Every structure is written in structure tokens, then in C-alpha cells.
């Protein structure tokens, strides 16, 4: 069964996602990131620019099979054709269709009211289906 984790109170969703992805890639994980197209475009730029001497190899889900196989990070609005099923990071506001095929799902949530309300709906969706959920409060970790 998929391990579900919510990372709450991210001060900057994209900045946090970049750090999370850097850590995941450093451990050898293969990660699929999903969200709306505007968020994924912003993340694509952020992955090139968030640290001056770092680059996190990534591609879009529509890339060639060779690029998909070589990229530890894949950005896609749909996870249906994921090249792997290891880690899924959701930056979107809905439950990703097909999330249950992944070993792990990480939901990144800011402190903004609308984002928190969407996270509560997703939490309820996972809990109603019997998924064990781990909660990480990023504000408490910084304190």
C-alpha cells in the first residue's frame, strides 16, 4: 500500500519542492512530480536556478523514452504514463489519479487557507480508503 505523507506549512511550495527533490535524488530515488501546468512550468525554471552550482536532472512527461529513463525527476500533469512508480510528489490541489501505483506519495502544502482546505479534502480521501498518513509540520521543524 502507498505510504502517504503530508508536508504542511511549506513557506514556499516551489522552494521546498526543490530542496525535497534534491534530497530525494541524492538518495537515488526516482520522483514523479505532478500539479497544474503553470506550477510545473515554474518548478522547471526553479530546478535550473534554485542553487547557483547545482542542477537537478529532470524532464517533462512528454519527453522521449530515453530522456524519461535517464531522468530521476519527471514533471507531469498526469501520472498515468509514469516511467516508474517509486515516489510521487503532488503540488496540485486534487488527488492525483493513479497515485496508488506509487510506493510513496508526498503532498506539499503551504499555510495558505485555500491550499490547506484542499489538503484536508485529500487527507480525508486517503484516510477513508485506509491509507496510513504521516504528518510533517515544517513550521515546527524550523522552530
pLDDT tens, 67-114? Answer: 999 999 999 999 987 889 999 999 999 999 999 999 999 999 999 999
**pLDDT at residue number 82:** 86
Q: Which residues constitute the domain of residue 108?
A: 3-142
Domain count, the chain: 1
Strands (E), the chain: 3-10, 31-34, 58-60, 73-75, 87-90, 104-110, 133-137
Q: Which residue has the higher pLDDT, 29 or 49?
A: 29
What proportion of the chain, given as a percentage, has pLDDT over 70? 98
What proportion of the chain, given as a percentage, has pLDDT over 90? 87
- What CATH number is given to the structural domain containing 18? 3.40.50.10110
Tell me the pLDDT of the chain averaged across its residues: 94
pLDDT confidence bin for 53, thresholds 50/70/90: confident
> Can you tell me the distance from the alpha carbon of 95 to that of 82, in angstroms, rounded to the nearest whole number?
16
Burial label for 128, CB within 10 Å (0-12, 13-18, 19+), is exposed
Burial label for 44, CB within 10 Å (0-12, 13-18, 19+), is middle
> Can you tell me the distance from the alpha carbon of 48 to that of 52, in angstroms, rounded to the nearest whole number?
9
Q: pTM of this prediction?
A: 0.94
The predicted model gives 102-131 an average pLDDT of 97
**pLDDT at residue number 143:** 52
Alpha helices, H only, 10-111: 13-26, 37-49, 65-70
Q: Computed over its alpha carbons, how large is the radius of gyration of the chain?
A: 14
Amino acid at each position: 500500500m502507498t505510504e502517504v505523507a503530508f508536508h504542511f506549512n511549506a513557506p514556499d511550495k516551489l522552494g521546498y519542492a526543490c530542496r525535497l527533490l534534491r534530497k530525494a535524488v541524492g538518495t537515488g530515488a526516482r520522483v514523479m512530480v505532478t500539479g497544474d501546468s503553470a506550477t510545473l512550468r515554474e518548478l522547471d525554471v526553479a530546478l535550473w536556478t534554485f542553487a547557483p552550482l547545482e542542477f537537478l536532472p529532470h524532464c517533462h512527461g512528454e519527453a522521449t523514452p530515453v530522456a524519461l529513463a535517464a531522468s530521476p525527476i519527471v514533471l507531469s500533469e498526469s501520472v498515468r504514463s509514469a516511467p516508474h512508480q517509486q515516489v510521487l510528489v503532488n503540488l496540485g490541489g486534487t488527488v492525483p489519479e493513479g497515485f496508488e501505483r506509487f510506493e510513496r506519495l508526498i503532498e506539499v502544502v503551504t499555510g495558505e487557507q485555500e491550499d490547506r482546505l484542499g489538503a484536508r479534502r485529500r487527507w480525508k480521501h486517503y484516510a477513508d480508503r485506509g491509507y496510513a498518513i504521516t504528518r510533517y509540520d515544517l513550521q515546527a521543524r524550523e522552530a
